[in-house]
Amino acid sequence: MKTVYPDYYNDFNCIADRCKHSCCIGWEIDIDQESLELYQGVKGDFGKRLKENISLEGTPHFVLKENERCPFLNCQNLCDIYKELGKDKLCQICSDHPRFYNELENRAEAGLGLCCEEAARLIITKKDKFKLIGEGEVTDGILLLRDKVFKSLQDRNFDLKERIKNTVALSGTPVPRFDILRWVEVFEGLERLDQSWTKLLAGLKADFSKVDQDAFADFIKQRETEYEQFLCYLVYRHASKAEFLEAFVLYIYFALLCFELIYAMGAVIFTQKGDFTVDDQLNVMRLFSSEIEYSDENLDAVLDELYKEFFNN
């Protein structure tokens, strides 16, 4: 089976202790069976330390320490398992992160998740158009339509709003109109991982009416590729899961909703501080991904709400 991936995929390298938002903090870290057996066989003081910091209750996992730090994340924010046993002895979730994989009928698709700040930097700051490596000839109807979506979203002869309109027209459906403040309430009702996301939602709710939309649009115009890359990332990661047209359109609507939410958050930050840096953008998108894409419950809840609003009639 061939593997397809974006052209930036192999450029990713973990920045380890230079990361401001370590994936070794705040996440439950499950241990696959092969790694568990390896860790249980380690001798000496480090083997004892491994056994003392692994819980076998439910899915085997590391027991997080104060501030939800992995017990093997040392004071230099480096991994002691990597240091003591080697890179190839990391458990699967640690080796894979922030990579994701979608298994399709005749191909596997790999990508990088936006929840990682370095992956987000690679994806969002890329100026060249989104491109897949290893794709070859596409015959599947959904993937053919997805390729047309990529082409439409990246047609830089038009501004982004026109591209979105042209993209939605591919499926013969109207451009969805989202009541952002209503959707903020939907997102506020979801399970929460990081209070920084709570603050972004609260700020959007409080200050969205104060935003000068034209001023922000003028300010951000030279950085449209950030949103273009964001939309292509979402379509690549999620739309291939669709087995029929209605589900495909649902995922397109999901991408557009997330774009409008992120764009609105940027406009609010710009209004609040008079600036909106690339780092601000990366942080907003990283938090979105962590909160929504990395929680099956939250992702399903958003998709269900979208379905009820636009398709259940």
96 CB-side CA count, 13 A:
13
Phi, psi of 229 (to 5 degrees): -65, -40
DSSP structural state of residue 57: S
| 9: its two tokens | 């995929």
Q: Let me know: does 143 contact 37? Beta carbons within 8 Å.
A: no
Residue type present at position 73: L
Q: Which of 309, 312, 254, 265 is nearest to 287 (CA)?
A: 265
* Biggest distance spanned by C-alpha atoms of the chain: 65
The model's pLDDT over 78-123, given as tens digits with 9 standing for 90+, comes to: 999 999 999 999 999 999 999 999 999 889 999 999 999 999 999 9
DSSP structural state of residue 237: H
Residue type present at position 197: W
Q: What is the mean pLDDT of the chain?
A: 95
pLDDT of residue 234: 98
Cα gap 53→71, rounded to integer Å? 7
pLDDT of residue 313: 67
What's the distance, Cα to Cα, between the start and end of the chain in Å?
40
pLDDT of residue 142: 94
Q: How far is CA 245 from CA 69, 105, 306, in A?
A: 43, 17, 15
The model's pLDDT over 129-163, given as tens digits with 9 standing for 90+, comes to: 999 999 888 888 999 999 999 999 999 999 999 99
176 exposure class (CB count in 10 Å sphere: 0-12, 13-18, 19+): middle
Q: Let me know: does 101 contact 45? Beta carbons within 8 Å.
A: no
pLDDT surpasses 70 at 265: yes
Characterise 65 by phi-psi region: left (phi > 0), alpha (psi -120 to 50), beta (else): beta
Cα gap 210→227, rounded to integer Å? 22
Q: How far is CA 223 from CA 23, 190, 216, in A?
A: 28, 30, 11
The model's pLDDT over 4-24, given as tens digits with 9 standing for 90+, comes to: 999 999 999 998 889 898 899
Cα gap 220→21, rounded to integer Å? 25
For the entire predicted model, the pTM comes to: 0.94
Q: How far is CA 91 from CA 248, 272, 276, in A?
A: 34, 42, 38
